[in-house]
Structure 1
Amino acid sequence: MSSPATGRLRVPGASLHYEVRGRGPLLLLIPGGTGGAAAFDGVAEALATEYTVASYDPRGLSRSPLDAPEAGRGAAGQSVAEQSVAEHAEDALRLLDLLSPAEPARVFGSSSGAIAALHLLTARPERLVRLVAHEPPVVEVLPDAAVHRALLARVRDTLDAEGLMPAMAVFAAGLKKEGEEGEEEDGDGQPATAPRPPLPPADLPPAAAARAARTRADLPYFLGRIVPAFMAYAPDLARLRAVSERLVLAGGDESRGELPYRTAAFLAERFGRELLHFPGGHTGLTTHPAEFGEVLGRALRK
């Protein structure tokens, strides 16, 4: 796999690391969880045969530091400012304006990245040809939204009182199918409730070890600053309906009934659109990269 060209984009309050491959119309990939641009390593090369493929680390994650990083919510219970969906969508827009200033682009967003992408579509629809949104957990659209608000409160309280890993376990349990046993995966495809070593295994290739280390280091910021704001976000359904011909809502074959799948399915039904199914579950992008990329390529060509 060839190495992408990399760059940095100054945005208000942060500096974004981004990667570019290929030539052609722009396809912007917006990651979810703590995966960052590296989450797309398994699909970007194939997509770059048709598109200029750009991916990036969202502000505050991995290689996109905030100008004045704040300590995450810790055991002492100190609260920090949450991230803003609108601000993350503005970052994506700035990348579109940098890399495709004269032409609208195609966008793919996964999980929390799909939430930012939905906001971008409603705010600046003229800048998007198509958006494929994979399992955006916009739980405020669901009839049982109050249940999920209570989940977020439990995650926050657990994070304050007990720390990161117990809070991750509470969060993972809330994303499962009702009555499901077993472990949920985090943004890097790892069981969220499994113990993690302080350092990546020594036998990993250097690039994979660096990615694993970044993923684990980003978990406190993701859980404490991104999850509360993003999962409390309520999209403008009237504006989304008005541009729904540009929107492809998607879920994983193996995540039917899980919370992020439910929100995608709810929106697809609300807008009278067919729900596109990708291989794997919520993290199918990393567990089934070749098949996932094929489905995404077909969805972008329609």
Structure 2
Amino acid sequence: MLTTATDAADARCLKVPGARLHYEVRGQGPLVVLVGAPMDAAAFAPLADLLALDHTVLTTDPRGINRSRLEDPEQESTPQLRADDLSRLITHVDAGPAVVVGSSGGAVSALALAQNHPGLVHTVIAHEPPLIEILEDREQLRAGTEETVAAYLAGDVIGAWRKFFAQAGIFMPEPVLEQMFGGARDAQHVADERRWFTHEMRASTYWQPDFAALRRAACRIVVGVGQDSTGQLCDRTSRALAQELNTEPAAFPGGHTGFVENPDAFASCLRAVMHDS
């Protein structure tokens, strides 16, 4: 039976092996799941509100992020675990099969869901998954990732983010870095950031899809790229993924976080892509 985001708190929390997952459900109609990693449900709220006019929209905090608490805080966040969580949420709300829209690490989760639980989804839209292992310069990128994590663990937070954005091909002015990641910061944001660097980044970016399984899956797989992401790392990984799957990437408004920058335009494009399914 469907619950809504305004129901009692326990109705918005699903117990799964090793964790309690915070989730929110909006609207009525065909099920759309919006998922990030490490982005939580709040990042998708404006887009979810728009889609909820004619869809049931499920959003969630990935395990270990914000309101989704872990029994073991040191547990690694792997795409397989996050896909299992999504499978349990979709089964729990009992409104599938679903369109699953994943962004960044959430796109990796969505691909793992299609690979391991294909019966629960009819369309996966993987928006800019950072799958560096499918690129020819994977060894260099892996080394850069290890340097980024090492900088963070050594306490150089701004330096770690500087390395992260440089490898991602996203220009970030130094004053913006200082403003975003220096000085007093929200404790939950810092906790989520630490989990991303220490327990999630490697598992998400080093994951290697089973292309044969994805090609034979009954669900439709769409690879999304941001119109403003040309030349960035996730533009490269997305196009490489689309090539492996013998499909053309779909262009979405904005960059890597286009659904945050302009949710109205993103929703219109997403509706068109979903309609094609």
Q: What number of residue pairs does the alignment pair up?
A: 267
Give the % identical residues: 36
Distance 2:133 2:237 in 1: 9
Letter of the 1:98 partner, please give it: H
SS at match of 1:5: coil
**Per-residue deviation at 1:67?**
1.7
**Per-residue deviation at 1:199?**
4.1
Match of 1:14 in 2: 19
**Per-residue deviation at 1:194?**
4.4
User: Is the 8 Å Cα contact of residues 165 and 193 (structure 1) preserved in structure 2?
Assistant: no
Answer yes or no: is 1:198 the counterpart of 2:191: no
Q: Which has the higher contact order (CA 8 A, sep 6+)?
A: 1
Distance 2:182 2:52 in 1: 34
SS at match of 1:137: coil
Equivalences for 1:21-40 in 2 at 5 Å? 21-33=26-38, 35-40=39-44
Distance 1:237 1:273 in 2: 12
| TM-score for the superposition, normalised by structure 1 | 0.82
User: Is the 8 Å Cα contact of residues 30 and 110 (structure 1) preserved in structure 2?
Assistant: yes
SS at match of 2:240: helix
**Per-residue deviation at 1:100?**
2.2
User: Is the 8 Å Cα contact of residues 225 and 251 (structure 2) preserved in structure 1?
Assistant: yes
Match of 1:183 in 2: 172
| Structure 1 residues 111 and 299: CA distance shift in structure 2, 3 A | same
**Per-residue deviation at 1:197?**
4.1
Distance 1:192 1:116 in 2: 31
Distance 1:100 1:191 in 2: 42
Letter of the 1:160 partner, please give it: L
| Structure 1 residues 193 and 270: CA distance shift in structure 2, 3 A | farther
Match of 2:47 in 1: 43
| Structure 1 residues 244 and 136: CA distance shift in structure 2, 3 A | farther
Moved over 6 A (4+): none
User: Is the 8 Å Cα contact of residues 5 and 21 (structure 1) preserved in structure 2?
Assistant: no
Answer yes or no: is 1:239 the counterpart of 2:213: yes
Query: Which blocks of at least 5 consecutive residues in structure 2 are unaligned?
Result: none
1:7-62 CA distances to partner (integer Å, 9 max, x unpaired)?
A: 000011111110010011211111233x3001111111121122110100000001
- The equivalent position to 1:139 in structure 2, one of 132, 142, 153, is 132
CA RMSD, Structure 1 to Structure 2 (Å): 2.1
Match of 1:130 in 2: 123
| Structure 1 residues 153 and 90: CA distance shift in structure 2, 3 A | same
Answer yes or no: is 1:65 the counterpart of 2:59: no
Match of 1:205 in 2: none
Match of 1:291 in 2: 265
| Structure 1 residues 42 and 17: CA distance shift in structure 2, 3 A | same
Match of 1:91 in 2: 85
1:217-270 CA distances to partner (integer Å, 9 max, x unpaired)?
A: 411111111101111111111111223860010010111111111111111122
Answer yes or no: is 1:225 the counterpart of 2:218: no
SS at match of 2:70: coil
Distance 1:192 1:111 in 2: 24
Distance 2:99 2:219 in 1: 13
Distance 2:90 2:181 in 1: 38
User: Is the 8 Å Cα contact of residues 169 and 192 (structure 1) preserved in structure 2?
Assistant: no
- The equivalent position to 2:162 in structure 1, one of 165, 169, 192, is 169
